[in-house]
Chain A
Amino acid sequence: MFAKLHFALLLLIRSKKKHTAIFVIATLLIFILASTLFISSSIQNDLYKTLATQADFTLQRYRAGHLVDAPVEWIDTALEIEGVKAATGRVYGEHYYEPKEQHFLIIGIDFYDTQMHQDMQKLLKNLDIEEFLSRKNMIIGSGVKAFFDKYHYFNSYTFRPPERSKEKLYIYDTLPQESNLFSSDVILMDINEARKILGIDADHVTDIILSVPNESERQKVYEKLIISHFDTRIITKEDIKRHYQNLFNYKGGLFLTLYIVTLITFLLLLYQRYTMVTTKERQEIALLRSLGWKIDAIIWLKVGENGIIALFAYLFGVILAYIYVYFLDAPLLQAIFLGSDNLRTEASFTPYVNISDLLLLFALFVIPFLLAIIIPLWRLSIEEISETLR
Chain B
Amino acid sequence: MYSLFISPEITFSLFLHLLLFVLLSIALYHTLILLHSYKREATSALQYSLEKRAYLIATIIQLSLFAYIFLLFFFIHTLEGLASLLPGAMCAAGVVEANIYGLPLILLHFCIIILSLLWISLHQEDLRNKKSPYFKRKFQLFLALYMLIATALITELLFFTQLDFSTPVLCCSTLYRQSSTLPFSLTPLQVALLFYSIYFLLIFSLYKRKRVPTLLLILLFLPLSYYATTYFFSPYIYELPTHRCPFCLLHKEYYFIGYFLYGTYILALYYTLKSCFVKKDKNTSYKSIFFLTLFVFILSFNFIKFIVI
The minimal Cβ–Cβ distance linking B54 to chain A, given in whole angstroms, is: 9
Given known pairs A249-B6, A253-B5, A367-B67, the reply for A374 and B16 (CB within 8 Å) is: no
Alpha-carbon separation in the docked complex, A229 to B74 (Å) = 47
- Is A245 a contact partner of B12 (Cβ separation < 8 A)? no
- Is A242 a contact partner of B74 (Cβ separation < 8 A)? no
Assign chain B's interface to a size class.
20 to 34
- Is A374 a contact partner of B60 (Cβ separation < 8 A)? yes
B140 at the binding interface (Cβ < 8 Å): no
- Is B55 a contact partner of A296 (Cβ separation < 8 A)? yes
Which candidate, B19-27, B200-208, B271-279, is the interface stretch facing chain A? B19-27
List chain A residues, Cβ under 8 A from B26. 375
List chain A residues, Cβ under 8 A from B7. 249, 253
A12 at the binding interface (Cβ < 8 Å): no
| A345-376 Cβ-contact flags toward B at 8 Å (1 or 0) | 00000000000100110011001101100110
B59 at the binding interface (Cβ < 8 Å): yes
Write the chain B residue with the least CB distance to A297.
B55
List chain B residues, Cβ under 8 A from A370. 63
Which residue of the partner chain, among A250, A300, A359, A364, contacts B16 with CB atoms under 8 Å?
A: A364
A75 at the binding interface (Cβ < 8 Å): no
B15 at the binding interface (Cβ < 8 Å): yes
A287 at the binding interface (Cβ < 8 Å): no
- Is B9 a contact partner of A378 (Cβ separation < 8 A)? no
Given known pairs A296-B55, A374-B59, the reply for A363 and B16 (CB within 8 Å) is: yes
- Is B52 a contact partner of A295 (Cβ separation < 8 A)? yes
The minimal Cβ–Cβ distance linking B30 to chain A, given in whole angstroms, is: 10
Given known pairs A246-B6, A257-B11, A364-B16, the reply for A378 and B59 (CB within 8 Å) is: yes
- Is B70 a contact partner of A252 (Cβ separation < 8 A)? no
Within 8 A of A (CB), among B77-92: 77, 81, 84-85
A30 at the binding interface (Cβ < 8 Å): no
Alpha-carbon separation in the docked complex, A359 to B78 (Å) = 12
A22 at the binding interface (Cβ < 8 Å): no
- Is A360 a contact partner of B59 (Cβ separation < 8 A)? no
Write the chain A residue with the least CB distance to B52.
A382
- Is A245 a contact partner of B84 (Cβ separation < 8 A)? yes
A303 at the binding interface (Cβ < 8 Å): yes
A256 at the binding interface (Cβ < 8 Å): yes
B189 at the binding interface (Cβ < 8 Å): no
List chain A residues, Cβ under 8 A from B150. none
- Is B19 a contact partner of A256 (Cβ separation < 8 A)? no
A260 at the binding interface (Cβ < 8 Å): yes
A34 at the binding interface (Cβ < 8 Å): no
Chain A binding surface SS class = helix
Within 8 A of B (CB), among A211-256: 242, 245-246, 249-250, 252-253, 256
A78 at the binding interface (Cβ < 8 Å): no
List chain A residues, Cβ under 8 A from B8. 249, 252-253, 256, 360
Write the chain B residue with the least CB distance to A252.
B8
The minimal Cβ–Cβ distance linking A142 to chain B, given in whole angstroms, is: 33
Given known pairs A359-B74, A378-B59, the reply for A256 and B11 (CB within 8 Å) is: yes
Given known pairs A360-B12, A367-B16, A371-B63, the reply for A378 and B71 (CB within 8 Å) is: no
Which residue of the partner chain, among A245, A246, A253, A367, contacts B11 with CB atoms under 8 Å?
A: A253
Within 8 A of B (CB), among A292-333: 295-296, 299-300, 303
List chain B residues, Cβ under 8 A from A296. 55, 58-59
- Is A356 a contact partner of B77 (Cβ separation < 8 A)? yes
Which among A250, A253, A260 has the highest number of chain B CB atoms within 10 Å? A253
Write the chain A residue with the least CB distance to B5.
A253
B182 at the binding interface (Cβ < 8 Å): no
The minimal Cβ–Cβ distance linking A286 to chain B, given in whole angstroms, is: 15
| B56-70 Cβ-contact flags toward A at 8 Å (1 or 0) | 101110011001001
Write the chain B residue with the least CB distance to A296.
B55
Within 8 A of B (CB), among A257-287: 257, 260
The minimal Cβ–Cβ distance linking B127 to chain A, given in whole angstroms, is: 8
The minimal Cβ–Cβ distance linking A145 to chain B, given in whole angstroms, is: 38
Given known pairs A249-B6, A253-B5, A360-B74, the reply for A371 and B23 (CB within 8 Å) is: yes
Given known pairs A253-B8, A256-B12, A257-B11, the reply for A303 and B63 (CB within 8 Å) is: yes
List chain B residues, Cβ under 8 A from A253. 5-8, 11
Alpha-carbon separation in the docked complex, A381 to B6 (Å) = 43
Write the chain B residue with the least CB distance to A359.
B74
Write the chain A residue with the least CB distance to B51.
A295
The minimal Cβ–Cβ distance linking B262 to chain A, given in whole angstroms, is: 17
The minimal Cβ–Cβ distance linking A389 to chain B, given in whole angstroms, is: 18
Alpha-carbon separation in the docked complex, A250 to B59 (Å) = 37
Alpha-carbon separation in the docked complex, A246 to B82 (Å) = 11
- Is A295 a contact partner of B55 (Cβ separation < 8 A)? yes
- Is A382 a contact partner of B55 (Cβ separation < 8 A)? yes
The minimal Cβ–Cβ distance linking B81 to chain A, given in whole angstroms, is: 8
The minimal Cβ–Cβ distance linking B25 to chain A, given in whole angstroms, is: 12
Write the chain A residue with the least CB distance to B48.
A382
Which among A242, A303, A363 has the highest number of chain B CB atoms within 10 Å? A363
- Is A368 a contact partner of B5 (Cβ separation < 8 A)? no
Given known pairs A363-B74, A374-B23, the reply for A299 and B59 (CB within 8 Å) is: yes
List chain A residues, Cβ under 8 A from B9. 360
- Is A374 a contact partner of B56 (Cβ separation < 8 A)? yes
- Is A242 a contact partner of B85 (Cβ separation < 8 A)? yes
Alpha-carbon separation in the docked complex, A335 to B58 (Å) = 48
7 contacts between A and B (CB under 8 A): A256-B12, A300-B59, A356-B81, A363-B12, A364-B12, A382-B52, A382-B55
Known: A253-B7, A300-B59, A367-B19. 13 other contacts (CB 8 A): A249-B85, A250-B6, A256-B11, A295-B52, A359-B74, A360-B74, A363-B16, A363-B67, A371-B20, A374-B56, A375-B26, A378-B55, A378-B56
Which residues of B come within 8 Å of A, CB atoms? 5-9, 11-12, 15-16, 19-20, 23, 26, 52, 55-56, 58-60, 63-64, 67, 70-71, 74, 77, 81, 84-85
